[in-house]
Structure 1
């Protein structure tokens, strides 16, 4: 059932996904020498909205300490699915360019790319944005759950 907590969590985590994507683009470009994925921020915005709605919004209203944990869980969900979707998209591009010898190598390539992309998140600005976003999303959803029942 749609609630204000669901909406607030979805909007905040969507913003976190977009903002973190914009912060990680220069890190990717500096490390690889090529521009980041063209739709990185938009895809991660959608993933963030879904993670906020499903993970944080559903659990809002259980107290402040639970809200902080919910925010951390929501951001972890956002990061996992964003890394997986971006790695899978790159695997498809590489598979279409015939860089893999077979389907099992392509599937293994998703997990290799996942780990490679996770290394880009080690930048201090990105980690700070994700941590702050977790707090704001969790506490914002908690406030919305208490304020608008």
Structure 2
């Protein structure tokens, strides 16, 4: 059921994820084409803000702050997973893997490679500090729209 907290969480974490995606694009090699990267990560942010932060709002400020950081971390997890799977499927279409086990292993390696690439103060600063701010503002929205 839609609530003010879910809507606020969705839009706030859409913005946090979009800003984090802009920071992440700075770590890409120059020849990388990332046409829909920002909006895809922002959509994950909206989904996590609605489902995670919005559902847990109203339990107090300390829980809101921790849930905000959790939401930021989950945006990173799902974004990294999605793009690792995407790269694996693109490579498998070129017949680069001999069996499904090799493709799964490659997906885990890609996830780890992308995670290490994302370990910059810009990306994680936006996700964690933005998560704190988004969590606090979602908590305020939950109290305002009861």
Structure 1 unmatched ranges of 5 or more: none
Cα separation, 2, equivalents of 1:51 and 1:100 = 32
- Give the match for residue 11 of structure 1: 11
Residue 39 (structure 1) aligns with: 36
Aligned residue in 1 for 2:134: 137
CA distance in 2, matches of 1:19, 1:98: 35
Could you list the per-position Cα deviations for residues 60-90 of structure 1 after superposition, in whole angstroms to 9, with x for gaps in the alignment? Answer: 0011100001101111111111110010011
1:107 offset after TM fit, Å?
Answer: 1.3
* TM-score calculated relative to the size of structure 1: 0.93
- CA positional deviation for 1:136: 1.4
1:1-149 aligned within 5 A: 1-29=1-29, 33-149=30-146
Q: CA RMSD in A?
A: 1.1
Residues 4-57 of structure 1 deviation map (CA, whole Å, 9 limit, x = unaligned): 10011111111111111111112122xxx5325322111111111101111000
The list of structure 1 runs, each at least 4 consecutive aligned residues, that deviate by more than 2 angstroms after superposition, is none
Q: Distance in 1 between the 2:19 and 2:94 partners? A: 31
Q: Which moved more, 1:35-44 or 1:109-118?
A: 35-44
Query: How far, CA to CA, are the matches of 1:122 and 1:36 in structure 2?
Result: 20
> Is there any run of 5+ residues in structure 2 with no aligned partner, and where?
none
Distance 2:15 2:33 in 1: 19
The alignment's TM-score, normalised by the length of structure 2, stands at: 0.95
Closer, same or farther: CA 37–109 of 1 in aligned 2, 3 Å: farther
